[in-house]
Structure 1
Amino acid sequence: MSTSSRTALSTSASPKRWWALVVLALTQLVVVLDGTIVTIALPQAQQELGLTDLERQWVVTAYALAFGALLLLGGRVADYWGRKRTFLVGMLGFGAASAFGGLAQNGTELIVARGLQGVFAALLAPAALALLTVTFPSGRERNTAFAVFGAVAGAGAAVGLVLGGVLTEFADWRWCLLVNVFFVVVGLVGGMLLVTESQTAGNNRYDLIGAVTVTIGLGSLVYGFSLAEQGWGQIQTVGFLALGAGLLVLFVVIESRVAQPLLPLRVVADSVRGGAFLVQMIVGSVMIGAMLYVSFHLQIVLGMDPLLAGLATLPITLSIMVMVPVATKLLSTIGPRPMMIGGPLVSAVGLAYLSRVTADGSYLVQVLPALIVLGLGMAFVFVPLQNLALTGVEPQDAGAASATLNSALQIGGSIGLSVFTALYAARVADFGAGGSQLDAFTSGYSVAFLAAAIGLVLASIIAAVFIRGSKSELLPQVSDTEAAVYVH
């Protein structure tokens, strides 16, 4: 047996791989929750720093935009430069950007800090997922590892709301950023001690033209959607959406012709992986976009303080965690396809119920049941999703595939947030003067929740069409010899 094979087998057999899973899952939790942790703190931050409403929106958008637009490049950096090295640099930079944001003295500094967080998260997230792929290359352990990782990633948005509420209530909004320094220290120490380096062998070249094209393309697309609140027919909205779509088409053409593409089209051409990426995008729109309006309803309409509003979203996380062990067992019994079809439908029922909220309704009757059902359904999506998106990926493409999956989540969240905001604003504007302001707000929230439910029904249809094959075909077992090629 070769030296690389012995290294891979010893790595996969080492007990420290489970501690490595803890570190990598913690990393994913941080990058996902940072998309929502400042949401509850925004009113306090706006008042202290004197933010305009536009600046307030960009505190959220800057992170998602930089993160989503640079993820593909970050994935290739991880593949070529070394996944462990990229992970550590991303972690260090993320911590520095978080500290800068926590000490920001004005809106510009806060927005810049959030953008820098997104830049380093674009290195961190694909490196973490690629490291998970090479640490658990096959078998039941891989299913378990991806189930844990997926559940943590899926619950991150809700955890961010809870943690943001606790920190805002008992400390200060700045701690919603400064708390990341603690996670970074744990991640750096754990990464250095527990994670094994891996990278793509050979003479690798960066696809710089593709990187610039897709970064500007994704950025333009997300920005265009963020302008939709001002009107879908506005020249700026249409212009940025058209520019983004055109550049993404050009990116596909470039990737089909370069020798070492940023995103090998074979990664997304596979119908199962392509379907998983599309489902991830819709899930991101719900967990990032729709959850923002849950927070607004709890605070603005129901009058909850930040802490109570954060705790009130906790049932989503709890229901996900309760169902993950069940879903993990079912994965090996019935396979991923039924779960990917049924999970979104269950969550859609929860959101449809949530769309019935009224200004004089109660949390226990109108909100709590919906959040529980939403979490139950999402558990059946998160457990198989990460595995499906990375099954069958060539070792040299692990970072690119991981980046695509993370990018789908963040871009989906950004687009979902923009679309829901546009629908909400339009409904509130059309509500008229006949009712109270709270009635107008809840009417707008209802439209956003119903749109999210429709999106999840679409996700179920996508899964039914694209994710086909038997259980053994969708979750193939990889031999030890094959697994060895993942570690270099």
Structure 2
Amino acid sequence: MGAEKEVISRTVSRTPTPARSFLNACVIVLTVTSSMIINSANSTSMAIAIPTLEKEWQLDPTQLQWIISAYPLSSGCLFLVCGRLADVYGRKKTFCVGSVFLASVTLACGFSPNVMTLDILRGIQGIGAAAMIPASLGILAHSFPPSRARSIAFATFAAGAPVGAIFGTAVGGVLVEYTAKTWRSSFYLLSALTLLCFIGGLISIDQDIPSEELDKRIDWIGAFLVTAGLVLVVFVLSQGELAPQKWGTPYIIVLLILGICLIGVFLYWQHYLETIQADVDSPYSIWTPPPLMKFSIWTRANGRFGAMMAIAFTNWCAFLAWTFWVQLYYQNYMQYNPMQTVIRLFPMFVSGVACNFFVGLMASRVPVVYLVVVGTLATSVACLLFAVINPAITYWAFGFTATVLSVMGADFVFSAGTLFIARVALPHEQSVAGALFNTMTQLGTAVGVTVTTVVYNNVGSRLAPGEDVLAMYRAAQWTAFAFGILATVIGVICFRGVGVVGFREPKTSSSTMEQGSPVVTDEKRQKNA
């Protein structure tokens, strides 16, 4: 990239942004941030309730997997499709419809009579989240033009993930332990909060404006290919260690190959559609709508769009694997109860909020490479501390330090990453770009937990009966550490010399003011970052 510092180009959207009051801006940010909090809480509130469910319905451990997995599976695999729908048909419409749908199905989950019904409803529940989250990113990008307010808005939205995770765990634990409805109470509460998101979105979010695209058709073939491919891949990742012959089970091998092939066909199909759409002499055909995702979007900003996706993927592999194994370490190895575990993980909440507050204020001053590298390196160190942890030493030496550092990678990368892709993406593809980012984090979650589980089980198979199983937890964390270091290396290589992602008022001289400031074209927007 050379020694000369490359600064992210200032882009000017052709879509006018209406003036808004401070109160209206706060309500918008609060509404979409609440959607992120609810999305995270829908996962963690059930994780803490699993032991109660197991006793109430007298379930086998193998029947518990889909209660946890069904929700992120459906939401993560539908992000891209729902992001495209939001860009074409309207982000406010998509957000409001998604919130009503999510509130209704979440309430229904609370009345589930058996585990099969709950599994199915959890899968349907994720569709609502898939509509809300990409639309939220598009709403923020449209509502807040490049400014300090945009940096704060995106950072606040990103804070919703750790806040939601702790909220779901803590409140879910309290409701399970102290209410008559136990685990059902969490669904009732989250349904009510989701309905408040609908009301907030209805009164505060700007009315949808028509998409800038001339051809607003939806690529339903691509939608089927990417959704089916992701569902199969994520299903295999979640079931590979639970199958009768584990990864050697025939249906696991077949479904994995089929899923990868479908994703490969999807990528080729998107490239083909983009080529057809770019050819002005190409005849009109109902079979060649605009691509669901432009293949060229991965090469935007000299390939840094794709690099940011890779960082999101590898960093979430590390962060979610760390979170998964730390909870098991505390509850299964140290024999702490759920509330004792929540207390030990509570510093994540404080650290997460502080990190996003820092990004909101400093995104216009600190180059993106420092945010990404410091964040991913901090998460890597958290994994390292648990990879060498000594249970006999006080919590404050290993556990507390790691808990504070762990969330930095997720928050710095999410905040800086969403700001970066909002600058690179064109106005009519903001929700699709946000959907891609969230899809990569979901895939990172599945891959990180799966790979570390394989390592954990392989180490356990070599231990003698009665031998201390601490080595298994350490091995899983060493694997998570490797993912974190990989994210750090990508950040150093690809973003060295890149400037800030937040808005900074340009320095102007009298001569510059007389000449006027140039407007950055769409072509420059795609090439520069």
CA-CA distance at 1:475 after TM superposition: 6.0
Partner of 1:25: 33
Superposed, 1:200-215 pairs within 5 Å as 200-201=211-212, 202-215=214-227
Tell me how far apart the structure 2 counterparts of residues 391 and 326 of structure 1 sit (CA, whole Å): 20
Tell me how far apart the structure 2 counterparts of residues 33 and 372 of structure 1 sit (CA, whole Å): 20
Partner of 1:56: 64
CA-CA distance at 1:376 after TM superposition: 4.1
Tell me how far apart the structure 1 counterparts of residues 505 and 220 of structure 2 sit (CA, whole Å): 36
CA-CA distance at 1:215 after TM superposition: 0.6
Tell me how far apart the structure 1 counterparts of residues 89 and 248 of structure 2 sit (CA, whole Å): 44
3-state SS of the aligned residue for 2:37? Answer: helix
Equivalent of 1:319 in 342, 345, 351: 351
Partner of 2:295: 265
TM-score (norm 1): 0.90
Q: Spell out, residue by residue over 1:349-393, the C-alpha distance to the aligned partner (whole angstroms, 9 max, x if none).
A: 111101234565654444222111223454433331211122221
Partner of 1:221: 233
Superposed, 1:184-263 pairs within 5 Å as 184-198=194-208, 199-201=210-212, 202-229=214-241, 230=243, 231-258=246-273, 259=277, 260-263=290-293
Partner of 2:93: 85
**Greater CA deviation, 389-398 or 44-53?**
44-53
Q: Letter of the 1:238 partner, please give it.
A: I
The number of residues matched between the two structures is 475
Paired residues of 1:92 and 1:184 also in contact (CA < 8 A): yes
Q: Letter of the 1:355 partner, please give it.
A: A
Q: Letter of the 2:486 partner, please give it.
A: L
Q: Letter of the 2:483 partner, please give it.
A: G
Tell me how far apart the structure 2 counterparts of residues 466 and 476 of structure 1 sit (CA, whole Å): 22
Q: Letter of the 2:44 partner, please give it.
A: T
Paired residues of 1:320 and 1:379 also in contact (CA < 8 A): yes
Q: Letter of the 2:480 partner, please give it.
A: A
Tell me how far apart the structure 1 counterparts of residues 505 and 452 of structure 2 sit (CA, whole Å): 41
1:387 aligns with 2:411: no
3-state SS of the aligned residue for 2:134? Answer: helix
Paired residues of 1:355 and 1:447 also in contact (CA < 8 A): yes
**Greater CA deviation, 329-338 or 465-474?**
465-474
Partner of 2:385: 353
More helix per residue: 1
Structure 1 gap segments, 5+ residues each: 484-488
Equivalent of 1:370 in 402, 422, 438: 402
**Structure 1's 472 and 318: CA in aligned 2 closer, same or farther, altered over 3 A?**
closer
Partner of 2:526: none
Q: Spell out, residue by residue over 1:108-156, the C-alpha distance to the aligned partner (whole angstroms, 9 max, x if none).
A: 1111111011111111111111111111121221111111112222443
Structure 2 gap segments, 5+ residues each: 1-12, 278-289, 507-516, 522-529
Q: Spell out, residue by residue over 1:264-306, the C-alpha distance to the aligned partner (whole angstroms, 9 max, x if none).
A: 2233222222122222223333443431222222222222222
Paired residues of 1:32 and 1:156 also in contact (CA < 8 A): yes
CA-CA distance at 1:480 after TM superposition: 12
Tell me how far apart the structure 2 counterparts of residues 480 and 155 of structure 1 sit (CA, whole Å): 41
Tell me how far apart the structure 1 counterparts of residues 428 and 408 of structure 2 sit (CA, whole Å): 35
Paired residues of 2:75 and 2:130 also in contact (CA < 8 A): yes
| Structure possessing the higher radius of gyration over alpha carbons | 2
Q: Percent identity?
A: 25
Partner of 1:486: none
Equivalent of 1:145 in 153, 158, 182: 153
Superposed, 1:330-349 pairs within 5 Å as 330-349=362-381
CA-CA distance at 1:243 after TM superposition: 1.6
Q: Letter of the 2:267 partner, please give it.
A: V
Tell me how far apart the structure 2 counterparts of residues 41 and 222 of structure 1 sit (CA, whole Å): 23
Paired residues of 2:316 and 2:441 also in contact (CA < 8 A): yes
**Structure 1's 476 and 395: CA in aligned 2 closer, same or farther, altered over 3 A?**
farther
Tell me how far apart the structure 1 counterparts of residues 142 and 111 of structure 2 sit (CA, whole Å): 37
Partner of 1:10: 19
3-state SS of the aligned residue for 1:40? Answer: helix
CA-CA distance at 1:75 after TM superposition: 0.6
**Greater CA deviation, 247-256 or 320-329?**
320-329
